[in-house]
Homo-oligomer: A and B are copies of this chain.
Amino acid sequence: MQEICAEAGMSPGNLYRYFPSKEALIIGISERNRADAMESFAAAESDPNFFRGLENLARHHLVERTAQEVGLCAEIMAETRRNPEIARVYQAIETELRARLVALLKSASERGEILSDLDFDSAVSALMVLADGMSWRRAVDPNFDPEVVLPLILHMVHCVLTEPPRAQAALPEKSS
């Protein structure tokens, strides 16, 4: 809260005129992030090129964000594990996000840009793995350069969405 006060250029007392609690403040920030994400989705959905739309989406949320914003997101994610109410809100947002991503994939598959017989839910889960991973790398590793890694990530996304899954070679596992 001290940090947030400093960042907002406000005393704690004044900050509490705008938000009744830390929880409400976090939910407010989450809401802002949600709105921002949904705006980006609108842009991505209106792009006739699915992969370009997705790249812009990724750029906006994983590269262009300031270190501070990324840090704040990390903090909220961690808070999720402590505060059940925040966890609820967070999951509601993620549910909406998933639906939006699934829709994006479906329309792309209808246009033939990606596989048609895709397990959309799993694919979206994989995308979210990538997003969270990028976010946390940024939050935790000062040497991490999203600009360098993003092309690889996009390459991976392209593969998983356009190439049929390899027949999982059921090689006998080497037990450790």
Residues of A within 8 A of B (CB): 39-40, 43, 47, 49, 52-53, 56, 60, 71, 74-75, 77-78, 80-81, 90-91, 94, 122-123, 125-126, 128-134, 136-137, 139-141, 144-145, 148-149, 151-153, 155-160, 163, 165-166, 168, 171, 173-174, 176
Q: Can you spell out 17 A-B residue pairs with CB atoms less than 8 angstroms apart?
A: A56-B176, A71-B81, A77-B140, A122-B149, A126-B153, A129-B130, A129-B133, A129-B137, A132-B132, A133-B134, A155-B165, A156-B157, A156-B160, A158-B166, A159-B159, A159-B160, A159-B163
What is the CA–CA distance of A15 and B78 in the complex, to the nearest angstrom? 25
Taken together, the copies of this chain in the complex come to: 2
The complex places the Cα of A39 from the Cα of B157 at a distance, in Å, of 30
The answer to whether A125 and B139 touch (CB under 8 A), given A56-B173, A56-B176, A133-B133, is no
Q: Find A140's partner among B60, B71, B80, B157 (CB 8 Å cutoff).
A: B80
Q: Are A81 and B90 in contact (CB under 8 A)?
A: no
Which residues of B lie under 8 Å from residue A126 when comparing CB positions? 149, 152-153, 156
Complex Cα gap A142–B132 (Å):
15
Whole-angstrom distance between the Cβ of A132 and the nearest chain B Cβ: 5
The reply to whether B160 and A152 contact each other, CB–CB distance below 8 Å, is yes
